[in-house]
Amino acid sequence: MKLKFWGVRGSIPSPGERTVRYGGNTTCIEIRTDADELIILDGGTGIFPLAQTLLKRLPITAHIFNTHSHWDHIQGLPFFIPIFIPGNTIKLYGAVDPITGEGPERIINMQLQYSYFPVSAAEIKSRFEYTDIMPNETVTVADATVTSVLLNHPVINLGYRIECNGRAIFFTGDHEAHFNIYEPADEGYAEYQALIEEQRLSIVEAMQGVDILIADSSYTQEEYPAKKGWGHGTFDSSIQLAIDAGVKILYCTHHEPTRSDDELEQVFADALSRHVLGNLDVRLAREGVEIVI
């Protein structure tokens, strides 16, 4: 498989001289299976430059797996130009919203309204298909399989494990380590802690032994107490998760948009200094980086 990062920032695009090395676009990852099938993880603003490269090889079939519906993971979809070109096939996969009962079609129908965008959903010219994904469901995409895993975020967030010919990649989308809502002296603390441990172990099992883990590492451990409950991980929580799951390479992503590249490298180095990594290779995700596994 081949992997390329097109967007690695979280929350809001942050272009400029302070972010030029690692990039300012929000989440988008391109994966090519061994059979050259196109899988796209999330449609943040990074999907726009990806689309420009695809215009050179039309018609295309693209399988877009959405982790969740927050803006930084969908805001580039209206600018994914192949959607509006006849002959292309676009398949959008995502969770069902428990409140509305709608699947990923709500993402497109919401954005492509004249109140928000000058082109409506009725003007989509490609063959556009929607597929609802449930947690722990596996979808076959040519020579690869994509398995969804429910992670911890304020809305339904599906992480994805992509496997192809003995190689595996896991992408968390946005994920915060589960925490106990009770104080240790409270009656419900022990029962809730057991549930948390069960959830943690199931996530570790889903990531077990992957070649590459791409994980939400928005905050430092010093910043985290003020951000608790926002649904994002830290460098330290991602590193520990990778160690527990026996991952080969960890890419820390969803970089804090107010953090400059220099600051990002500094807090990353600080986090690495607190862990015994063994054989684990830990890297910062960077726009434009390609890796073959």
pLDDT tens digits for range 171-222: 999 999 999 999 998 999 999 899 999 999 999 999 999 999 999 999 999 9
Residue 266 to residue 198: CA distance in whole angstroms: 34
List pLDDT tens digits, range 92-114.
Answer: 999 998 888 899 999 999 999 99
Domain limits at 23?
Answer: 2-292
Give percent of the chain with pLDDT exceeding 70.
100
Average of per-residue pLDDT across 225-234: 97
Q: Kindly report the average pLDDT of the chain as a whole number.
A: 96
> In this structure, what CATH number is given to the domain that contains residue 22?
3.60.15.10
Q: State residue 99's pLDDT score.
A: 85
Conformation bin of residue 19: beta by default, left when phi > 0, alpha when psi is -120 to 50: alpha
List pLDDT tens digits, range 236-260.
Answer: 999 999 999 999 999 999 999 999 9
List pLDDT tens digits, range 133-163.
Answer: 999 999 999 999 999 999 999 999 999 999 9
Q: State residue 100's pLDDT score.
A: 87
Q: How confident is the model at residue 227 (pLDDT cuts 50, 70, 90)?
A: very high
List pLDDT tens digits, range 39-94.
Answer: 999 999 999 999 999 999 999 999 999 999 999 999 999 999 999 999 999 999 99
Residue 23 to residue 251: CA distance in whole angstroms: 15
Whole-structure pTM over 0.85, yes or no?
Answer: yes
Average of per-residue pLDDT across 28-49: 98
Please report, for residues 5, 109, 216, 284, the alpha-carbon distance to residue 289 in angstroms, rounded to integers and kept in the order given: 6, 32, 17, 10
Q: How many CB atoms lie within 10 A of CB 233?
A: 26
Q: State residue 98's pLDDT score.
A: 87
**How many domains would you assign to the chain?**
1
Joined tokens for residue 269: 């180095």
Show Cβ contacts of residue 30 under 8 Å, excluding neighbours closer than 6 positions.
2, 3, 4, 6, 38, 39, 40, 50
Q: State residue 128's pLDDT score.
A: 96
Which amino acid, residue 120? S
Q: How confident is the model at residue 282 (pLDDT cuts 50, 70, 90)?
A: very high
Conformation bin of residue 207: beta by default, left when phi > 0, alpha when psi is -120 to 50: alpha
